[in-house]
């Protein structure tokens, strides 16, 4: 029994905050380092990032004056995250009939609320109280792979299941008060977004094949979130791309990910965690220059939306199918760990 991603809908908030953030961050950095920061920002491969916050670093914005506490940030999450998730579900419903949902799988790592966002969303959508809910929290960027893997397991065990998979992240709620260039460059990557997919046993779209997961050795501190009194502080070490490249240089690991198929013969839905990460994947796997074009486009148009990003790449591939029939979904996150699934485009 196979499971298929039949369709995906995506949503981003209306406020483009990328260039305002660059100006704000530049003003905080030592003047001697500002040209370095701006040069690195221009090379990030990001043109836009979207936020639920209107002009957050401008006069009167959410971060104007004193940085808000975690309580204030979570209040915004509780209000805006379910609404943005619903926007993604409504975008999905424009592509396919979303009636008869039996299971709801929600992934999010940028906020906490109880009752959970899964319950809030289910109630907002008018889903049956009997819908089985699963909430995947704090797994970071590879949570989309875990959510799709969970949906696959459900459908393979219950062929009549209709699983709604939702990822939603409000990363811009976690701006930190810092003058250091490295964390500012990490914050430069992240934006808000949501995605929703319907997974069923009915053939169509993209088939979800064998999942894989691997924790990379000696890398637990390279990507991490720290919960503070002023939101969640992201640490994204500059060594991450090199460590990913090193892992993908291991033939045994690559064979496990690809099933023994040469990487260049597959399509690649890679989480757009940053330009340097995409460069590392492409170089290590010796992929053709355009193999990660969809991932780079998502990064350019929306930035890194944590768990939403891989779903956005898959949505792009459903809209514009790659020439290869078989492929791989691949994402990286805290740990440092890699998660993904084999894919097959069935139209």
**Residue 140 carries which DSSP code?**
G
- Is the bond leading into 115 cis (omega within 30 degrees of zero)? yes
Query: Shortest CA distance to 279 belongs to which of 265, 266, 292, 294?
Result: 292
For residues 176-202, b (16+ Cβ closer than 10 Å) or e, as one string?
beeeebebbbbbbbbbbbbbbbbbbbe
Q: Are 227 and 193 in contact (CB under 8 A)?
A: no
Which residue of the set 7, 91, 141, 168 is catalytic? 141
Please tell me the distance from the alpha carbon of residue 115 to that of residue 106, in angstroms, as a whole number: 13
> Which residues touch 11 (CB under 8 Å, ≥6 apart)?
84, 85, 87, 88, 90, 91, 193, 194, 195
**Angle at Cα 11 formed by Cα 8 and Cα 14, nearest 5°?**
165
> Which residues touch 79 (CB under 8 Å, ≥6 apart)?
none
- Is the bond leading into 9 cis (omega within 30 degrees of zero)? no
Please tell me the distance from the alpha carbon of residue 282 to that of residue 13, in angstroms, as a whole number: 30
Please tell me the distance from the alpha carbon of residue 55 to that of residue 57, in angstroms, as a whole number: 6
Q: Are 216 and 331 in contact (CB under 8 A)?
A: no
Query: Shortest CA distance to 224 belongs to which of 241, 240, 213?
Result: 240
Please tell me the distance from the alpha carbon of residue 314 to that of residue 217, in angstroms, as a whole number: 28
Strand 132-137 and strand 103-108: pairing?
parallel
C-alpha dihedral over 65, 66, 67, 70, to 10 degrees?
Answer: -140
Task: State yes or no: is 141 an active-site residue.
Answer: yes
Catalytic residue numbers read 141
């Amino acid at each position: 029994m196979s499971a298929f991603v039949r369709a995906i809908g995506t949503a981003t908030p209306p406020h483009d905050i990328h260039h305002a953030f660059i100006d704000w961050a530049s003003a905080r950095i030592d003047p001697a380092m500002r040209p370095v920061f701006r040069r690195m920002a221009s090379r990030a491969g990001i043109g836009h990032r979207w936020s639920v916050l209107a002009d957050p670093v401008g006069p009167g914005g959410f971060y104007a004056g004193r940085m808000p506490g975690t309580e204030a940030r979570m209040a915004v999450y509780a209000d805006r995250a379910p609404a943005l998730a619903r926007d993604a579900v409504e975008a999905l419903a424009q592509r396919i009939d979303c009636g008869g949902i039996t299971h709801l799988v929600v992934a999010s790592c940028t906020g906490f609320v109880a009752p959970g966002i899964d319950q809030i969303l289910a109630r907002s959508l008018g889903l049956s109280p009997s819908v089985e809910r699963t909430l995947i929290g704090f797994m970071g960027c590879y949570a989309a792979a875990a959510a799709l893997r969970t949906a696959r397991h459900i459908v393979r065990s219950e062929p009549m299941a209709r699983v709604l998979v939702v990822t939603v992240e409000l990363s811009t709620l976690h701006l930190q008060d810092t003058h250091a260039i490295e964390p500012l460059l990490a914050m430069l990557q992240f934006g808000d977004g949501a995605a929703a997919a319907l997974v069923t046993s009915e053939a169509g779209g993209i088939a979800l094949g064998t999942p894989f997961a691997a924790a990379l050795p000696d890398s637990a501190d390279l990507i991490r979130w720290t919960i503070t009194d002023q939101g969640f502080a992201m640490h994204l070490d500059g060594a991450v791309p090199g460590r990913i490249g090193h892992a993908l240089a291991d033939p045994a690991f690559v064979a496990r990910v690809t099933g023994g198929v040469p990487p260049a013969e597959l399509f690649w839905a890679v989480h757009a965690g940053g330009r340097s990460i995409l460069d590392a994947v492409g170089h290590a796997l010796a992929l053709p220059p355009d193999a990660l074009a969809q991932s780079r486009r998502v990064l350019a148009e929306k930035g890194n939306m944590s768990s939403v990003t891989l779903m956005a790449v898959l949505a792009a591939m459903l809209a514009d199918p790659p020439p290869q029939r078989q492929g791989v979904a691949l994402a990286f996150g805290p740990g440092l760990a890699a998660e993904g699934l084999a894919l097959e485009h069935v139209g």
